[in-house]
């Protein structure tokens, strides 16, 4: 799959310095100023608080004038966790499917064809009363319901490898809808599932539309858990050239994170809940953490935009210099 402007990276507003208090118009101008090829907004409501088609279309027309592709996230869609699908519930007066359909229709009517979503959040896997398998089954059923609408309207939905979702689970969620459901590969999140990011990319090869770029290191904590810390792009453990080779048509998206999630990697009960963990991948990540040792983390985890200047240069080279 190839998306327009694949030779220039896109950016998520959370990565742009100053974007937290900026309007959608200001964010688009910031992205154009810094020579990005598109902006992936985290919500359709960031483009119009009322989901007004004319307002969203005006933003898309400005993006066109600036030489940008405009894309948007539908946020999280987990149907069984009350309140998780905040955007769809707000758009549908509390009815998830109605709201999801409205979000897609407004996007399509406004000329936005590239959409993204997440399934849920990290703690959903260990929800006290709703089994993770049931959550996945309900999400798959939701995708089955929305796929015909995406097809009719000429939209494509990329499902993000968020911290709670393994590559194995994502592959099953989108199976059978090859023309409208794709993968937004966020490799630093694969570490939270004890997956080698490049191996996860290879498992999803051929379906990756978006490649979210950040970097990370792994370090052991005093309690024996292993924590993901965010790093400057190119200074962490991710093999970016390998992932670009696996996903040659994917759009590179700068997406600077801030979550430092810890994995209880020696807890047998936790390990048993992680589908597909392979010995070689598990051992490789343990080795990375052992090599890092007790070194201090030189990057401010609470200020992801502090890594922006270097990251912008790296993603521009990544997008332009594909082999």
With 70 as the cut, is the pLDDT of residue 37 above it?
yes
Residue 301 lies in a domain: no
Over range 179-204, report the average pLDDT.
97
Residue 300 lies in a domain: no
User: Distance between CA 143 and CA 286 in Å, rounded?
Assistant: 35
Residue 91 lies in a domain: yes
With 90 as the cut, is the pLDDT of residue 8 above it?
yes
Residue 274 lies in a domain: no
State the chain's mean pLDDT as an integer.
95
Range in 4-13, 24-33, 80-89, 221-230 the model is least confident about: 4-13
Predicted TM-score of the model (pTM): 0.96
**What is residue 24's predicted lDDT score, i.e. its pLDDT?**
98
With 60 as the cut, is the pLDDT of residue 2 above it?
no
CATH code: domain of residue 154 = 3.20.20.150
Q: H-helix or E-strand containing 294? A: none
Over range 164-172, report the average pLDDT.
97
User: Distance between CA 34 and CA 19 in Å, rounded?
Assistant: 13
Contacts of 152 (CB under 8 A, 6+ apart): none
Residue 269 lies in a domain: no
Q: How many domains does the chain have?
A: 1
Q: Which domain range does residue 35 map to?
A: 10-215+235-258+307-318
**What is residue 274's predicted lDDT score, i.e. its pLDDT?**
87
Sign of CA dihedral 269, 204, 319, 56: negative
Residue 289 lies in a domain: no
With 90 as the cut, is the pLDDT of residue 7 above it?
no
Residue 290 lies in a domain: no
User: Distance between CA 202 and CA 199 in Å, rounded?
Assistant: 5
Q: pLDDT tens digits, residue range 100-149?
A: 999 999 999 999 999 999 999 999 999 999 999 999 999 999 999 999 99
Residue 115 lies in a domain: yes
Q: pLDDT tens digits, residue range 262-306?
A: 999 999 999 988 888 899 999 999 999 999 999 999 999 999 999
Return the structure tokens found at 184: 């937004």
Q: pLDDT tens digits, residue range 219-268?
A: 999 999 999 999 999 999 999 999 999 999 999 999 999 999 999 999 99
User: Distance between CA 253 and CA 39 in Å, rounded?
Assistant: 9
């Amino acid at each position: 799959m190839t998306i327009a402007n694949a030779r220039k990276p896109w950016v998520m507003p959370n990565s742009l310095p100053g974007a937290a208090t900026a309007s959608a118009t200001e964010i688009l101008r910031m992205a154009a100023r810094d020579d990005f090829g598109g902006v992936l907004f985290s919500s359709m409501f960031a483009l119009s608080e009322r989901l007004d088609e004319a307002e969203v279309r005006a933003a898309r027309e400005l993006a066109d004038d600036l030489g940008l592709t405009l894309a948007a996230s539908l946020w999280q869609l987990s149907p069984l966790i009350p309140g998780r699908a905040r955007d769809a519930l707000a758009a549908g007066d509390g009815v998830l499917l109605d709201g999801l359909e409205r979000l897609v229709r407004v996007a399509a009517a406004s000329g936005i064809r590239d959409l993204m979503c997440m399934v849920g959040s990290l703690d959903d896997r260990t929800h006290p009363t709703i089994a993770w398998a049931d959550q996945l089954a309900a999400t798959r059923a939701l995708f089955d319901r929305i796929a015909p609408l995406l097809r009719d309207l000429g939209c494509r939905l990329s499902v993000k490898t968020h911290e709670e979702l393994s590559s194995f689970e994502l592959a099953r969620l989108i199976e059978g809808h090859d023309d409208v459901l794709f993968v937004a590969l966020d490799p630093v999140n694969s570490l939270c599932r004890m997956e080698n990011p490049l191996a996860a990319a290879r498992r999803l090869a051929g379906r990756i539309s978006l490649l979210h770029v950040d970097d990370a290191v792994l370090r052991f904590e005093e309690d024996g858990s292993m924590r993901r810390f965010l790093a400057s792009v190119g200074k962490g453990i991710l093999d970016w050239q390998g992932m670009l080779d696996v996903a040659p048509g994917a759009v590179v998206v700068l997406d600077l994170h801030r979550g430092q999630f810890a994995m209880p990697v020696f807890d047998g009960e936790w390990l048993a809940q992680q589908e597909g963990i392979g010995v070689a991948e598990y051992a490789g990540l343990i080795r990375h953490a052992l090599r890092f040792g007790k070194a201090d983390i030189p990057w401010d985890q609470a200020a992801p935009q502090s890594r922006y200047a270097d990251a912008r240069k790296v993603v521009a080279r990544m997008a332009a210099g594909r082999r």
